[in-house]
A and B are shown apart, each in its own frame.
Chain A
Amino acid sequence: MKKVLIPLILFLGLVVFLAIGLQRDPREIPSPLLNKPAPEFSLSTLEGDEKFSPAQMQGKVWMFNVWATWCVACREEHPVLVAFAQKHNVPIVGLSYKEIQPQDEAAKASPEVKLQVARERSVVWLKSHGNPYVTSVMDLDGRVGIHYGVYGVPETYIIDKQGVIRYKRVGVVTPELLADKILPLINELNKS
């Protein structure tokens, strides 16, 4: 092969990569936690003083949904989750992520007051938008979120009977996604 063709060949290779790149989203981060055990934690819940930990869900296939009342996209996703919860026997646990934002009044209050305010706000929001969650854990400082690799809201995980993360969705859960990916996966996980 003639040396003079090298620049052209290299260039064409580049074009191919760029063309593929046009179809990718450079900001989407795949989760390294796939097929790894869901990180343990113990957090207060929305309802009361009893704490929740993922170990309690052993033996069930469940959905872990990251949300917050300040999250605009969550409002789009919420009816889909509510409908899903009503139709299917899959428990959805919510992760209330950083409900108190740095610019809120309550941000400077004590942890107890913060938890209180967060709970109140969430309860009100869920009353008006519907509550698909069997319970919702309060991750006020975002620590649990970090352990789960959360970098935006909403995000959703599917966790199997052994407590292993099998799927992660960054962004809104749509009905199409539920039908095409999530439900089939849950059905399959339920069989094992």
Chain B
Amino acid sequence: MIPELGHFALILAALVALIQGVLPLTGTMLRDPQQQVVLQSLARPTAALQCVLVAFAFGALATSFLSNDFSVSYVAQHSNSLLPKAYQFAAVWGGHEGSLLLWVLLLAVWTLAVALFSRSLPLDMVARVIGVLGLISVGFLLFILTTSNPFERLLPAALDGRDLNPLLQDPGLVIHPPMLYMGYVGMSVAFAFAVAALLSGRLDAAWARWSRPWTVIAWTFLTFGIGLGSWWAYYELGWGGWWFWDPVENASLMPWLVGTALIHSLMVTEKRGSFKAWTVLLAIAAFSLSLLGTFLVRSGVLTSVHAFASDPKRGVFVLIFLAVVVGSSLTLFAWRAPRVTLGGRMGLVSRESFLLANSVLLVVATAAVLLGTIYPLIIDALNLGKLSVGPPYFNAVFAPLLVPTVFLMIPGSVARWRDAKVREIAHDLRWTALAALVLAVALPFVLGGWSFGAAFGLFLGCWGALGTLQQVLDRVRKPGRIGASFWGQHVAHLGMAVLVIGITGVKRYEVERDVRMQVGDVVTIAPYTFRLDSFSDVRGPNYKAVRADVQVLRNAELIEVLQPEKRRYFSSAMPMTEAGIDSGFMRDLYVSLGEPLNDARTEWSMRVYYKPFVPWLWGGTLLMVLGGVLAALDRRYRKFTQRVNT
């Protein structure tokens, strides 16, 4: 009964979304002010109603999972009675249909948030934004109802489910999709604002000020989601890799890059009224890339470890949806953008031009990632053969593009608005430059060996960190209140610098030992010693495992006992590795079990890693997330009291 109710709720939600999408927008195009207000006022209530209905449907699916209702096909495919309750809930988004329902739910939640926190917006803008969001919701709801219904029944019901993919039975992977989707879906709000601005012809600084907090919040979630995915891959896959340039990873990176460019570009539009057309285009691009990502992951067009099971029907639907949404918004852009006014004056060297350079660099970087991701597809489509584009390409092309972007972070935030002088900026930054140079040259010797690559990466990171520190100190010395967005900006920049140092450190100074170990054997990576103490058999709720106890000593003193496992889940033939990791501030010590090397299973292949600076990867990401939160909390966004008269 409950699944049917859930299904029904989705149908109703689609109808409500249709009303939400069509009527308020129509209201903005009518002439009679009375009619206008009537229709536009429908925006908020319909948004609320849609959210309630979708939440009900989601609840229905979750209930089916938690009550082990294996007569629902989707539940039978992704759950199991032995699965721990927390994972039974997370299994709701463990497959294609359920993850789409999560997407639609989050879209409805964001829409409701816009409805609630938009008191200072004129009604017609609210109508347009919520209207556009409604149309997007209609598309996704139709997609679910026609091709990906999670409530389909399985008759006769299965006795037990197939179990959630063991790779997904992990806390990191439980919050990774929701956070990521919050980011993807959040970009639709920036998109809706952009389209609303184009439709109304009101493309100005006020629009930028409205858009910015929503964009920052979406970006923050996206950063967190990508970081979580990376962290999960690091500890789950057994050999400590954290970024593979897999198409699905690229699909999340591209909206992030454009989102970053968008935030910076919005600053200029808000402050000086400039770059309006470019900013609007970025907003359209960010969400378009989110949609493109959805397509790439679910259509089977690219091979990826991440891809959901693909179905050509689904691919076609998403492609058509993508074509309609992005095609119409770009057409609207081409029509309306030329009428946009130019905004303030700026010098060739000024904060504005630095921010524009930031945009350009990030967009080119995004183009490079996009090109690399779909190039095999293009070549195949042109019947020119089959080739692969993998990490060697992306590493070679992406890094040189990101280096100037990170470098320019500092002079860009030092430069004055409107007009700045290179000489002045250089003068202001001379100590930072010197200190960064000294550290870059000296640190590699201390860390394990000099190489130009290490020095270069360290220079960039130290430049970013020290430059940020300098600006903070400069500002703190001055009188006056410091807003949260100031802290947000610099904490985020610091996070980026920390991330760069982390990447440099782990790439250049990582040590790996691939060894065969019996009880009593040691591996030495000075000053650490890893000693294998014992093997034991353990049993979990839905798996059996072999666990190794590995003592980690530094200079003969015990730091930690690591317990890597090799698990065999009852539902899957593939064994899973759980690495044993000891995390410190400056390094991770990482041990993973390989295969047994003799029948008695007393000797195993094992991998022991010393990974310096890995925690800085996560630390840097978290700092960026913190920066985003701080920026969004700035007081000027929290003033809901002013109502603007239409």
Residue positions of A touching B, CB distance < 8 A = 2, 4-5, 7-8, 11-12, 14-15, 17-22, 24, 26-30
Contacts and interface: CB of A to CB of B under 8 A. Distances in A.
B380 interface: yes
B386 A7 contact: no
Nearest to A27: B303
Nearest to A23: B312
B322 interface: yes
Contacts of B301: 18, 21-22, 24, 26
A15 B303 contact: no
Contacts of A30: 385-386
B386 A2 contact: no
A24 B301 CA distance: 7
B386 A22 contact: no
Most chain A CB neighbours (cut-off 10 Å) among B319, B331, B333, B334: B334
B376 interface: yes
B629 to A, nearest CB: 32
Interface of B: 277, 281, 284-285, 288, 295, 299-303, 312, 315-316, 319, 322-323, 326-327, 330-331, 333-334, 337-338, 374, 376-378, 380-381, 385-386
A11 B326 contact: yes
Contacts of B385: 30
Nearest to A14: B374
B333 A4 contact: yes
Contacts of B312: 22
A171 B58 CA distance: 41
Contacts of B377: 17-18, 21, 24, 26
Contacts of B285: 7
Contact of A7 (B299, B300, B333, B338): B333
Contacts of A28: 386
Given A4-B334, A18-B377, A26-B380, 10 more contacts: A4-B277, A7-B281, A8-B330, A11-B326, A12-B327, A15-B319, A21-B381, A22-B299, A24-B377, A26-B303
B295 A4 contact: no
B319 A19 contact: yes
Given A12-B327, A15-B322, A30-B386, A22 B315 contact: yes
Contacts of B334: 2, 4-5, 7-8
Nearest to A5: B334
Contacts of A27: 303
Contacts of B284: 7
26 contacts: A2-B334, A4-B334, A4-B338, A7-B330, A7-B334, A11-B288, A11-B327, A12-B323, A15-B327, A17-B374, A17-B378, A17-B381, A18-B295, A18-B299, A18-B319, A18-B377, A19-B319, A20-B381, A21-B301, A21-B374, A21-B377, A22-B300, A22-B301, A24-B377, A26-B302, A26-B376
A4 B337 contact: yes
A11 B330 contact: yes
Given A8-B330, A21-B301, A29 B386 contact: yes
A80 to B, nearest CB: 26
Contacts of B315: 22
Contacts of A29: 386
A18 B302 CA distance: 10
A98 B303 CA distance: 26
A191 to B, nearest CB: 28
